[in-house]
Amino acid sequence: AQSVTQLGSHVSVSEGALVLLRCNYSSSVPPYLFWYVQYPNQGLQLLLKYTTGATLVKGINGFEAEFKKSETSFHLTKPSAHMSDAAEYFCAVSHSSNTGKLIFGQGTTLQVKP
């Protein structure tokens, strides 16, 4: 069985500050891990993914995440927040045999203050 926990349903940062969104997962098989972003009344856009190999993955819009197996974590970071980063962020897990069947966390709303 797989599950995802996102710590903090709301995160507020100032423009230019570090963004850190936390995600912990549980998986009985090697996980594939994803971060998606959702703007109001829109679908989900893939930010980045971890499948195998390098544990630090870089995505679009300056985001990156690090897979830490020992901590079962996949936290999302961005060095400097922009106003346009304000959105809902979802962490998700799947596995290699069915990468599109995703188990999502409950989401974190990122607010960026001017």
Partner 1 sequence: DTGVSQDPRHKITKRGQNVTFRCDPISEHNRLYWYRQTLGQGPEFLTYFQNEAQLEKSRLLSDRFSAERPKGSFSTLEIQRTEQGDSAMYLCASSLDGTGVNTEAFFGQGTRLTVV
Nearer to partner 1, 81 or 105 (CB): 105
Q: 67 and 50 in contact (C-beta within 8 Å)?
A: yes
DSSP-assigned beta bridge partners for residue 50: 33
Let me know how long the chain is: 114
Smallest separation, CB 27 to partner 1 (Å) = 15
| CA separation for the pair 44, 30 (Å, rounded) | 24
Question: Which stretches of the chain bind partner 1, using CB under 8 A?
Answer: 4, 9, 32, 34, 36, 41-46, 49, 51-52, 90, 92, 96-107
Note whether 76 and 19 are within 8 A (CB): yes
CB-wise, 17 or 49, nearer to partner 1?
A: 49
Cβ at position 114, least distance to partner 1 in Å? 25
Closer to partner 1 by Cβ: residue 4 or 19: 4
Question: CA-based angle 35:22:56, to the nearest 5?
Answer: 60
DSSP structural state of residue 31:
P
CB of 112 to partner 1, least distance (A): 20
Taking the least distance from each CB to partner 1, the nearer of 51 and 72 is: 51
Q: Least distance to partner 1 from the beta carbon of 85, Å? A: 19
Residue for token pair 């940062």: 13
